[in-house]
Amino acid sequence: MSYPDPPNQPSWAPPGPQTGGQPAGQPGYPGYPMGMGAPQPPQYAAPRKKRIWMVPVAAGLGVVLLASTVWAANTVLGGWFGGPQPETVMPSSSVMFAKLDLKPSGGQLANYAEFAGKLPDEVKDELDPESDPARDLVESEFDYLDYDKDVEPWLGKRFGFAMWETDSEAAQVSRDGMAAAFAVAVTDEDAARTALQEVQKKEDLSFDFRDDFALLAPNSATLSDLDSKIAASGTLDAQEDFASDMQSIGGDTLATAWMDLGEFSRIQADSPSSGYGRSSNPFDDLTGGEDVEGRVAMSLKIESEYAEVRGDMFDVKSGNALDDYKAPEPGLEAMSSLPNNTVMAVGGSGLDSVAEQVWEENPDDFGDFEDALDAQDVSLPEGFTQLLGSKTALGITDVEGSFDDVFSNDFSLQYRATGADADLLEEIATAMSEANYKSAPGVDTDGDTVVISSGATGAGKLGDDAFFQRVMEGTEDSHVGVYMNLREFSPDDDIANPEQWGAVGGAVNFDGSNGSIVARWAPSGGA
């Protein structure tokens, strides 16, 4: 998306050094990549077409990552392994960074091929292993280029995008104090220069080359500002927080994204963009107007057994919102002890402790819940442990029908709560069944765990299921977990062969201002 020139602002930047000798592009509104906190100025005229800043969006969001994985797994190229990463040509002052890496290591390549073989037939039928995602992008957005002749001979397999603060108005991508650049790996600078000069004739673009990357920017002022920032403080890969955060989320990723929340919100809050009638701080709705600190990082990773999306937060704070919360002891034992025919499950450790801390912060929010407990002579906060225990899990079993039918019919379940009050839970279960004219569920104990079961529940343990183990691998010490067995749903118009879709699972781990979220899909098409 692009914006027109604001009133009384020239539509061109002062001429400057340009690779290819073309005049500089407009500094005013070349479009705001990724849409993060971008102001929405009024439309003064029909916008000019400025597609070059659609490229980061198309690369980061429009490229189908599964297609990229299949393509990478089925492609053999010379010089495939190794090479620099985009963060080595971006400034250390970057507050936002994202990259797509289609140049995997040998181990990744083997994982991609094995994972692609496990995809459901429905997915495989939609993917062409010979299709190059870059071709689709170039042919749709730059139809004046011949991909085979003008692009493919030099195009590398790594792409990066970064934004940083700048004092140069000419270098800003909009009136928010931010500059941005896009990095494309190249294997032949001369061939890349010829193609980019053609693009430069039609788009607002400046470019230059650094360490096997073509740097693309809306004008030469942005590239000059990038160079000055690197000269002053180095490149992003050497920035201490960024390097530490990337190490935490792990390597061998297909895509990653990173943001310095504190710096980004400060820049937005200090920008004049709020003059357009919109809050310039994108986190106001989440924080209630409080300042935010810390950083977040996300990654997409393909292993041989599953695809994983991971998000980590580092030193994240908003006022004192997280300072007073104490993380309970982690563990998902109760969840893995659910019956082996569990279709959907949620579980966690210390949920009673978390609930108590939330209650102490905002007791009025629990008014209706407390009223419901009065009939059972239960008071808060002690009632949280009586009901939830220290380790808790709920599993729905024996589902017949599609996902939409799960809660519209009778279903079986098992509830497990370690350290809960068995007598209280039995009273509540009996009262609920009488109100609905149903037979009361069974209440039993397993050591110090209260077990409530209703309907058909398996004799084995969910933790022994191979797909549960795949999606929950390494999450044993998490605070909250979720799981869904997709193989148990009946075929319908959306899923023809559910037995090929495996399972999905996820986990949350938190410790004050630090935490992580992991979500995985383990397909079963080839297993």
Digit-coded pLDDT (tens) for 54-78: 333 333 333 345 555 555 555 544 3
Q: How many CA atoms lie within 13 A of 329 on its CB side?
A: 5
Residues 238 and 89 in one domain: yes
In a domain, 124, yes or no: no
The total number of structural domains that make up the chain: 2
Residues 161 and 288 in one domain: yes
Residues 216 and 350 in one domain: no
Question: Can you tell me the distance from the alpha carbon of 512 to that of 319, in angstroms, rounded to the nearest whole number?
Answer: 13
Structure token digits, residue 357:
């801390």
Question: Can you tell me the distance from the alpha carbon of 11 to that of 4, in angstroms, rounded to the nearest whole number?
Answer: 9
Q: Does residue 224 contact residue 235 with C-beta atoms inside 8 Å?
A: no
Range of the domain at 434: 324-522
CB count in 10 Å sphere of residue 296? 16
Residues 328 and 258 in one domain: no
Domain edge (last residue) among 315, 345, 367: 315
- 């106001």: which residue's tokens? 284
Residues 475 and 514 in one domain: yes
Sign of CA dihedral 165, 171, 175, 181: negative
Residues 418 and 509 in one domain: yes
Residues 239 and 271 in one domain: yes
Partners of residue 449 on adjacent β-strands: 418, 446
Question: Can you tell me the distance from the alpha carbon of 421 to that of 440, in angstroms, rounded to the nearest whole number?
Answer: 17
Question: Can you tell me the distance from the alpha carbon of 109 to that of 115, in angstroms, rounded to the nearest whole number?
Answer: 10
In a domain, 255, yes or no: yes
Reported confidence tier of residue 284, pLDDT bands at 50, 70, 90: low
Residues 191 and 261 in one domain: yes
pLDDT digits (tens, 9 = 90+) for 192-243: 999 999 999 998 899 999 999 999 999 999 999 999 999 999 999 999 999 9
The answer, as to whether pTM is greater than 0.85, is no
Q: Does residue 16 contact residue 221 with C-beta atoms inside 8 Å?
A: yes
Residues 297 and 393 in one domain: no
Question: Can you tell me the distance from the alpha carbon of 483 to that of 468, in angstroms, rounded to the nearest whole number?
Answer: 7
| CA-to-CA separations, 518 to 112, 463, 505, 507, in angstroms, rounded | 19, 18, 8, 5
Residues 483 and 334 in one domain: yes
Residues 294 and 336 in one domain: no
Helix (H/G/I), strand (E/B), else coil: 499: helix
Residues 95 and 224 in one domain: yes
Q: Whole-number mean pLDDT of the chain?
A: 79
Domain edge (last residue) among 293, 315, 337: 315
Give the CA dihedral 26, 32, 34, 35, nearest 10 degrees. -170
In a domain, 114, yes or no: no
- pLDDT at residue number 55: 36
Domain edge (last residue) among 315, 341, 358: 315
- pLDDT at residue number 26: 35
What phi and psi values does residue 148 have, to the nearest 5 degrees? -65, -35
pLDDT digits (tens, 9 = 90+) for 119-165: 888 888 877 777 777 888 888 889 999 999 999 999 998 999 999 99
Reported confidence tier of residue 418, pLDDT bands at 50, 70, 90: very high
Structure token digits, residue 397:
């079993």
In a domain, 157, yes or no: yes
Q: Does residue 265 contact residue 281 with C-beta atoms inside 8 Å?
A: yes
